Protein backbone atom coordinates (compact mmCIF):
# COMPACT_ATOMS: atom_id res chain seq x y z
CA UNK A 1 0.00 0.00 0.00
CA UNK A 2 1.39 3.39 -1.03
CA UNK A 3 2.03 5.97 1.67
CA UNK A 4 -0.05 9.12 1.61
CA UNK A 5 2.15 12.15 1.04
CA UNK A 6 2.49 14.50 4.03
CA UNK A 7 1.79 18.15 3.40
CA UNK A 8 2.62 21.16 5.49
CA UNK A 9 -0.10 23.73 6.27
CA UNK A 10 0.68 25.94 3.25
CA UNK A 11 0.67 23.00 0.88
CA UNK A 12 -2.63 21.75 2.34
CA UNK A 13 -4.22 25.19 1.91
CA UNK A 14 -3.01 25.42 -1.68
CA UNK A 15 -4.24 21.94 -2.49
CA UNK A 16 -7.63 22.62 -0.93
CA UNK A 17 -7.93 25.92 -2.80
CA UNK A 18 -7.10 24.26 -6.10
CA UNK A 19 -9.63 21.49 -5.45
CA UNK A 20 -12.33 24.08 -4.70
CA UNK A 21 -11.41 25.97 -7.85
CA UNK A 22 -11.72 22.81 -9.96
CA UNK A 23 -15.14 22.12 -8.43
CA UNK A 24 -16.24 25.68 -9.21
CA UNK A 25 -15.03 25.30 -12.81
CA UNK A 26 -16.99 22.06 -13.18
CA UNK A 27 -20.14 23.59 -11.65
CA UNK A 28 -20.56 25.95 -14.59
CA UNK A 29 -21.30 28.93 -12.33
CA UNK A 30 -19.69 32.20 -13.39
CA UNK A 31 -16.33 32.40 -11.65
CA UNK A 32 -16.68 36.17 -11.23
CA UNK A 33 -19.34 35.53 -8.55
CA UNK A 34 -16.75 33.94 -6.28
CA UNK A 35 -13.36 35.12 -7.52
CA UNK A 36 -11.86 38.46 -8.44
CA UNK A 37 -11.97 38.31 -12.20
CA UNK A 38 -10.89 41.65 -13.53
CA UNK A 39 -8.28 42.97 -15.81
CA UNK A 40 -6.55 46.23 -15.08
CA UNK A 41 -4.85 48.05 -17.91
CA UNK A 42 -2.92 51.27 -17.75
CA UNK A 43 -3.09 53.95 -20.39
CA UNK A 44 0.65 54.52 -20.55
CA UNK A 45 1.60 55.04 -24.16
CA UNK A 46 4.91 56.90 -23.94
CA UNK A 47 5.20 60.28 -25.61
CA UNK A 48 7.80 60.53 -28.37
CA UNK A 49 10.48 63.01 -27.30
CA UNK A 50 12.57 65.07 -29.67
CA UNK A 51 15.79 66.83 -28.77
CA UNK A 52 14.06 70.07 -27.70
CA UNK A 53 11.55 68.23 -25.52
CA UNK A 54 14.27 66.27 -23.73
CA UNK A 55 16.14 69.48 -22.97
CA UNK A 56 12.90 71.20 -21.88
CA UNK A 57 12.16 68.30 -19.50
CA UNK A 58 15.66 68.51 -18.03
CA UNK A 59 15.32 72.28 -17.63
CA UNK A 60 12.04 71.76 -15.73
CA UNK A 61 14.23 70.35 -12.97
CA UNK A 62 16.94 73.02 -13.34
CA UNK A 63 19.37 70.14 -13.69
CA UNK A 64 22.63 69.89 -15.58
CA UNK A 65 23.04 67.05 -18.02
CA UNK A 66 25.20 65.24 -15.45
CA UNK A 67 22.64 65.54 -12.64
CA UNK A 68 19.76 64.62 -14.95
CA UNK A 69 21.68 61.56 -16.16
CA UNK A 70 22.29 60.42 -12.57
CA UNK A 71 18.62 60.90 -11.67
CA UNK A 72 17.29 58.77 -14.49
CA UNK A 73 20.10 56.23 -14.45
CA UNK A 74 21.83 56.84 -17.76
CA UNK A 75 25.18 58.25 -18.82
CA UNK A 76 25.80 61.91 -19.61
CA UNK A 77 26.68 60.72 -23.11
CA UNK A 78 23.15 59.31 -23.45
CA UNK A 79 21.53 62.59 -22.33
CA UNK A 80 23.71 64.47 -24.82
CA UNK A 81 22.68 62.06 -27.58
CA UNK A 82 18.99 62.53 -26.74
CA UNK A 83 19.43 66.30 -26.78
CA UNK A 84 21.05 65.92 -30.20
CA UNK A 85 18.09 63.99 -31.58
CA UNK A 86 18.75 60.34 -30.76
CA UNK A 87 15.50 58.47 -30.10
CA UNK A 88 14.71 57.49 -26.51
CA UNK A 89 13.69 54.02 -25.42
CA UNK A 90 10.09 53.57 -24.31
CA UNK A 91 11.27 53.20 -20.72
CA UNK A 92 13.19 56.50 -20.84
CA UNK A 93 10.23 58.20 -22.49
CA UNK A 94 7.93 56.93 -19.73
CA UNK A 95 10.27 58.38 -17.10
CA UNK A 96 10.28 61.74 -18.86
CA UNK A 97 6.47 61.55 -19.05
CA UNK A 98 6.40 61.22 -15.26
CA UNK A 99 8.76 64.19 -14.85
CA UNK A 100 6.55 66.26 -17.19
CA UNK A 101 3.46 65.21 -15.23
CA UNK A 102 4.79 66.18 -11.78
CA UNK A 103 7.91 68.35 -12.09
CA UNK A 104 7.50 69.74 -8.55
CA UNK A 105 7.75 66.24 -7.13
CA UNK A 106 10.94 65.51 -9.09
CA UNK A 107 12.49 68.87 -8.15
CA UNK A 108 11.80 68.06 -4.50
CA UNK A 109 13.17 64.55 -4.97
CA UNK A 110 16.38 65.96 -6.44
CA UNK A 111 16.75 68.34 -3.50
CA UNK A 112 16.34 65.42 -1.09
CA UNK A 113 19.04 63.30 -2.67
CA UNK A 114 21.56 65.98 -3.65
CA UNK A 115 24.72 66.44 -1.64
CA UNK A 116 26.93 69.45 -2.14
CA UNK A 117 30.67 69.11 -1.71
CA UNK A 118 32.58 72.26 -0.90
CA UNK A 119 36.10 72.15 -2.34
CA UNK A 120 37.25 75.47 -0.89
pLDDT at residue 2, rounded to an integer: 67
pLDDT of 3 > 80? The answer is no
Residue 39: predicted pLDDT:
80
Average pLDDT over residues 107-120: 88
Instruction: Give helix 65-72 / helix 103-113 axis angle, nearest 10°.
Output: 90
- In tens, the pLDDT along 9-57 reads 888 888 898 898 898 888 888 887 788 777 888 889 999 999 999 999 9
What is the arithmetic mean of pLDDT over 81-91? 97
Confidence label for 115 from pLDDT (cuts 50, 70 and 90): confident
Q: What is the pLDDT of residue 1?
A: 62
pTM of the model: 0.66
| Nearest residue to 96 via CA among 26, 44, 38, 19 | 44
What does the domain layout of the chain look like in residue ranges?
10-40, 51-113
97-108 pLDDT tens trace: 999 999 999 999
Amino acid sequence: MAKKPKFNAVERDLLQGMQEFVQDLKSGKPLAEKYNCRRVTLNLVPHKYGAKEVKKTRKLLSASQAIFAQLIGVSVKTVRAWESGKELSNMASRFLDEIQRKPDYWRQRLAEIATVKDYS
